[in-house]
Amino acid sequence: MSEEVKNFKVTIDNITLEVPPGTTILNAARLLGAEIAPPAMCYYSKLENSGGKCRTCLVEVAAGSTADPRPMPKLVASCRTTVMDGMVVKNITSEKVVDARNGVVEFLLINHPLDCPICDQAGECNLQDLSYGWGEVNTRYKFARRTFVREDIGPYIQLHMTRCILCYRCVFVADQLTEKRMHGIVDRGDHAAISTYISKAIDNDFSGNMIDVCPVGALTDRTFRFKNRVWFTKPQDAHRDCEKCCGKVTLWMRGDEVYRVTARKDKWSEVQSYDGKPGWICNTCRFEKKSASDWVIEGLTTISRYSVIGANKYKVKVTPETTIQKVMGGLKPNLLMNIHSISDVNDPDLHLSEIPGPADGKDFDIANEIDNHIDENPYEAENYNKEFMYKNLEK
C-alpha cells in the first residue's frame, strides 16, 4: 500500500495554505486569489516548459523551508520555483518585489507602441492590466524604439512584432500542438523577433490557438481585425460536435452576428481544461463557423475577474472574491483619499437642493464655516446647519 503524500505548508503574504509537493509558488499563490498571485506574461500552465522569460512573477523568499529557514539571497521566478515545507514568500508585501516588478514593466514597455486605441487586444490585454497595476505614468526612455514590418504568417494570423514581448508562448503552442513548427525566435538581443522560416505560411489546423495564448496584441485574428471592440460584443458559451477538437468555445456576438470565436478561458486568461485536457479548438471552429446557427448557445460567459468585457452584460454584478484583508491580518486597507472629507462638493452639510440658483464659492464657504464652529453632535449639527444656512441666504 502506497504511503500518503504529505502536503507542504507555505505562507504567502501572511496567508498559510497547504499544497502538494512539486507545486510552484505561482500556482500556490493562485489558490489564494488574483490579488495575491504574481502576474505572469510568459508562464502558461497548459504549455510544458513555459515560464522564466518575462520576470514579472519575481517574489521574495523570506524563509526557504522549516529545515533551512535562511532567506534566498535574490528574488526568484515564482513560475519556476517549487514550494518547500515551511517556506515563507513575500509578493505584494515586499518592497523589493514591488521595485523589481516596476522595473520589469518599464523594461517591457520600452519598445511597446501605444497602439491600445487601435489594437484588437485592447480590453483583454494582459500587458494593459500589468501596466495599470505596476507601470509608471511616464517613460525615461528617450531613444528610438525598435520597429518591425507587419507580417501575415498565414491566411488567418497577422504578426505585429513591434508589440511582441518575446514570451515564447506561440512557439510552445506550435511545438506541442502541431506536427511541424514553422516559426520561432530569430536573431539575438535587441534584434530578436518571432518569424517564420523564410516567410513560410503557418497553415496547420490548430495554428489559431497562438492568438489565444498571446498576452499582447502581437498575434491578431485577421477575420476579426478592426471589426469591433471586445467590450461592445457579448461573450456567449457555445458548443458543437467537432471531429477535430472539443468544440467548446466562446462566441463574441453583437446582436445575432458572430464577430469572432475563441477558446473558453479561465480567470488567468488560460484555455479551460475538460476531462484533464486543455480545450484547444481547431481552425474550422475558430475561423469558418461564424454563424450563430452553427452552434448550440449555452448562455452568457461568466467573467470571473475584473474586466471591461463583463460590463453591463449581467443581471447581477459578478464581483471576484477579494483577499487583501487577509494579507493585512484582517485590517481594512486605508483609502488613498476620502473624497467626502476633501471635496466641498460632497460636503454633507451643504444641501445644494435648498440653495436658490446655482451654487458658488460663497455657499461652500458657509458650509466650511459650519464645520469649523459646531460640535460633532449629529442632532445639534443638523439644526445648526439649517439655521446658519438660512440666515446667510437671507443676507
| DSSP 8-state symbol, 63 | E
Q: Which of 1-15, 188-202, 204-218, 240-254 has the lowest mean pLDDT?
A: 188-202
Angstrom distance (rounded) from CA 71 to CA 97: 14
What number of residues does the chain have? Answer: 395
Q: What is the pLDDT of residues 305-345, one digit of tens each?
A: 667 777 666 655 556 667 777 777 666 655 544 444 555 55
Percent of the chain with pLDDT over 90: 49
DSSP per-residue codes, 296-354: EEEEEPP--SS-GGGTT--SS---PPP-HHHHTTTPPPPPS--HHHH-GGG-TT--GGG
Range 133-168 burial, b when 16+ CB lie within 10 A, else e: ebbeeeeeeeeeeeebeebebbebbbbbbbbbbbbb
Dihedral over alpha carbons 169, 27, 37, 49 (to 10 degrees): -20
- The domain locations on the chain are 8-107, 111-126+142-226, 229-334, 339-394
Q: Is it true that domain 111-126+142-226 has CATH number 3.30.70.141?
A: no
Contact 130, 216 (CB under 8 A): no
Contact 251, 235 (CB under 8 A): yes
**What's the pLDDT score for residue 20?**
94
**What's the pLDDT score for residue 150?**
87
Contact 121, 212 (CB under 8 A): no
**What's the pLDDT score for residue 393?**
53
H-helix or E-strand containing 294? none
Q: What is the pLDDT of residues 58-82, one digit of tens each?
A: 999 999 999 999 999 999 999 999 9
**The CATH number fitting domain 8-107, selected from 3.10.20.740, 3.40.50.2300, 3.40.50.620, 3.40.50.300:** 3.10.20.740
Stretch 111-116: mean pLDDT, rounded?
89
Percent of the chain with pLDDT over 70: 73
**What's the pTM?**
0.76
Residue showing cell 460584443 = 233
* 382 has a pLDDT exceeding 60: no
Please choose, from the candidates 155, 156, 163, 225, the residue with its C-alpha nearest in 3D space to the C-alpha of residue 194. Answer: 163
**What's the pLDDT score for residue 1?**
46
Stretch 288-300: mean pLDDT, rounded?
93
Contact 88, 68 (CB under 8 A): no
**299 - beta bridge partners?**
237
